[in-house]
Amino acid sequence: MKNVFGPIMVGLFKNSRFTYARGIIIPSASVSVGVPRISEELQCAEILDREYEVKIAELGTFRIFAVCTVDRVIIDGQEISLRTAIHIGTSTTRRRIEYELIVGRDLIDYWGLIVDELTGRIRSLMSKPVVTRY
């Protein structure tokens, strides 16, 4: 897959709850999509009045049925403290998708993500380093 970066590990926080997701960055995807497990573990699903489908060229079609708003995320050792809406959906293709979070153009722009193609490291213009306490 060209211009696709991953896998990445993403930590997601909602109030006192935490979960992680194996993610991939796909700049050609117009929206970001997470699997239902994310909204179940964070207890943050807001069911939509009407489902709709999103096509991501590299992975197929996804049926979006909910939105999950998270308080902050951690990507590559950086904390992004922005309330973020993530579309929750399931793949309509029969093949197995090995990622739990597809980071599309909406979150790339909102989080100010920059991918260093030489090192594969991800940076955010909106982040601060994660503080480790021992």
Say which CATH superfamily domain 5-128 falls into: Acid Proteases (2.40.70.10)
Give the residue extent of every domain in the chain. 5-128
Q: Cα separations (Å) of 106 from 13, 34, 48, 133?
A: 19, 13, 19, 32
- The whole-angstrom separation of Cα 89 and Cα 53 is 9
Q: 0.85 exceeded by the pTM?
A: yes
Per-residue pLDDT band for 3 (boundaries 50, 70, 90) equals confident
3-class secondary-structure state, position 108? helix
Distance CA 66, CA 119 (A): 35
pLDDT in tens, 94-126: 778 899 999 999 999 999 999 887 887 888 998
pLDDT in tens, 68-90: 999 999 998 899 999 999 999 99
